[in-house]
Amino acid sequence: MTSETINHTSAGARSARRWLRSIGAILAGLFAVIGLATVTDIAMHATGIFPPWFQPMSTPLWLLATAYRIAYGVAGGYVTARLAPDRPVNHALVLGLIGFVLSLIGAVATWDKGPEFGPTWFPLGLVGIAIPCSWVGAKLAQRQN
């Protein structure tokens, strides 16, 4: 093996590690957002703050659910940006785009399914906040560096 071959191989390995770190950073942010929202939803239902599952909720409760999803979206962007090997804002924006797509799928899947799935503004709001929340989280992470 020549030194050129070794350098090329080590560059390829670094590139592969960078891709894996990028994917890991985005997945960590995604798991943070989904995990936190799911655990909070379960706790809200279990404590009686929210009514039993698949029962209609009042507008203030939907606003509360939106508020903590905003906070968790920012947290997910923060986590992604902190773990990203480079270009932290771009990584967080990829997370936001994934959130946008997943929220859009959720909006389509629950559209006009009944009051137990919430008002129509709720899933549309989640679509609208996905990218901005991730961006804010990334900017907060950048500010700490």
Q: What is the four-CA torsion angle of 121, 123, 125, 131, rounded to 10 degrees?
A: -160
Q: Closest by alpha carbon to 29, among 67, 78, 66?
A: 78
Query: At residue 5, does pLDDT exceed 80?
Result: no
Count of CB atoms situated within 10 Å of the CB of 89: 18
Query: Who has greater pLDDT, 2 or 26?
Result: 26
Q: Tell me the whole-structure pTM to 2 decimals.
A: 0.89
Write the single-letter amino acid at 106: G
Per-residue pLDDT band at 13 (split at 50, 70, 90): confident
Burial grade of 115 (CB within 10 A; 0-12, 13-18, 19 or more): exposed
Count of CB atoms situated within 10 Å of the CB of 36: 17
pLDDT digits (tens, 9 = 90+) for 69-101: 999 999 999 999 999 999 999 999 999 999 999
pLDDT digits (tens, 9 = 90+) for 14-73: 888 999 999 999 999 999 999 999 999 999 999 999 999 999 999 999 999 999 999 999
